[in-house]
Amino acid sequence: MRIPPRIAALGGAAALVSTLLIGGQATAATTAVGDICYSDLPSQAHTTLDLIDRGGPFPYRQDGSVFQNRERILPSHSSGYYHEYTVRTPGSSTRGARRIVTGQAYEEDYYTSDHYASFDLIDHDC
């Protein structure tokens, strides 16, 4: 399992500069998907984000695997750019439909509650 790099030490300004150098991908992401405040996520998503920041251990063997972006809803990047993690669904006997998909940019985390039919970029500042 490969854990995606998190550029937390650089902060938001460096992330914005890197995004602009890449060609404005963050702008495309925020217009192609919705957004959600961190505080509005289900508690299980907070747990998953904490596990990602700690590097695990993850409850499902698929967690941390490369997300292929076959739906083409998220901005296009090379293979390996995105990784997916399960957000537990209370009462579900399977992994359920909820996921966090991380990109390699600072705080580039997406939440989906409908198994990739839609995504919300997580705003970590609210």
Q: Which SS3 state, helix, strand or coil, does residue 6 take?
A: coil
pLDDT single digits (tens) 8-42: 333 444 444 444 444 444 444 434 589 999 999 99
The answer to whether residue 84 is catalytic is: yes
Q: Which SS3 state, helix, strand or coil, does residue 19 take?
A: helix
pLDDT single digits (tens) 75-123: 999 999 999 999 999 999 899 999 999 999 989 999 999 999 999 999 9
Question: What is the set of domains in the chain, with CATH numbers?
Answer: 8-123 (3.10.450.30)
Question: One of 46, 71, 107, 115 is an active-site residue; which one?
Answer: 115
Query: Contact 120/110 with Cβ under 8 angstroms?
Result: yes
Whether the predicted pLDDT of 73 surpasses 90? yes
Burial degree of 28 (CB within 10 A; 0-12, 13-18, 19+): middle
CA distance linking residue 35 with residue 111, whole number of Å: 9
Question: One of 83, 84, 107, 108 is an active-site residue; which one?
Answer: 84
